[in-house]
Amino acid sequence: TVPPKLLTLLIVHKLGRVLLGRKKRGFGEGYYNGFGGKVEPGETIEEAAIREMREEAGVDPVGLECRGLLTFHFDDQERPWEVHVYHAADIRGEPCETDEMAPVWFAVDDIPFDRMWADDPHWYPIFLQGKKFKGTFHFQNTHTMTSHAVQVL
Ligand code: 6U4
Ligand code: NA
Ligand code: NA
């Protein structure tokens, strides 16, 4: 079996709102998403989560907690993706738009799931309740979710 590709996903959740970014290019373009990307050689997963948030929104996340582990199997990719999901209680600085992401705050009751990855409605509610979770998803042709399984830990 092939080793998974490691990625981070960080969601700032403060005062009943979450900070998401509209992805302007690359994988998931046009979707609202947490901030994150690939873990680089020589850094820890948490270091990658912090670096990606800085690169994509120009802010430092504060009070990180790893809440979830999501595994994605894509029919058109050899390696599965292992996405480590972080909760951040706060940020230092003002989010700014970058080449990659346009940041927007959403009330937790108003998260735009119709413009997000298909797996997101299956785990955001658990994430927002402060629980830890694990999920496995299969996708066809990049965007169509063909199976989902989420476990609260
Ligand atoms: P480069 O190539 O350096 O521009 P990088 O920023 O390292 O890319 P990117 O942006 O492609 O990586 O990372 C994908 C981001 O999308 C990660 O934060 C994980 C997140 N992601 C991927 N699949 C997801 C899914 N199905 N649901 C979800 N987030 C997903 O909520
Ligand atoms: Na990214
Ligand atoms: Na990156």
What pLDDT digit, counting tens, does each position of 39-79 carry? 999 999 999 999 999 999 999 999 999 999 999 999 999 99
Q: Flag whether the ipTM exceeds 0.90.
A: yes
Q: What is the pTM of this model?
A: 0.96
Question: 28 CB under 6 A from ligand 1?
Answer: yes
What are the residue ranges of helices labelled H in the chain? 45-57, 120-128
Backbone angles phi, psi at 130, to 5 degrees: 85, 15
On whether the CB atoms of residues 65 and 139 are closer than 8 A, the answer is no
How far is ligand 1, taken at its centre, from the CA of residue 1, in Å? 22
pLDDT bucket at 1, cuts 50 / 70 / 90? confident
Predicted confidence band of residue 10 (pLDDT cuts 50, 70, 90): very high
Q: Is the CB of 37 inside a 6 Å radius of any atom of ligand 1?
A: yes
Selection from 58, 127, 143 nearest residue 92 by Cα: 58
* C-alpha 45 – ligand 3 centre gap (Å): 12
Q: What is the pLDDT of residue 27?
A: 85
End-to-end CA distance of the chain: 26
> What Å distances lie between residue 36 and 1, 13, 77, 146, 147, CA to CA?
25, 15, 20, 24, 23
Could you tell me the distance, in angstroms and rounded to a whole number, from the CA of residue 129 to the centre of ligand 2? 25
Please indicate whether residue 11, judged by its CB atom, sits closer than 6 Å to ligand 1: no
The confidence score (pLDDT) of residue 7 equals 98
Q: What is the model's pLDDT at position 2? A: 87
pLDDT, tens digit, 9 for 90 and up, residues 97-135? 998 899 999 999 999 999 999 999 999 999 999 999 999
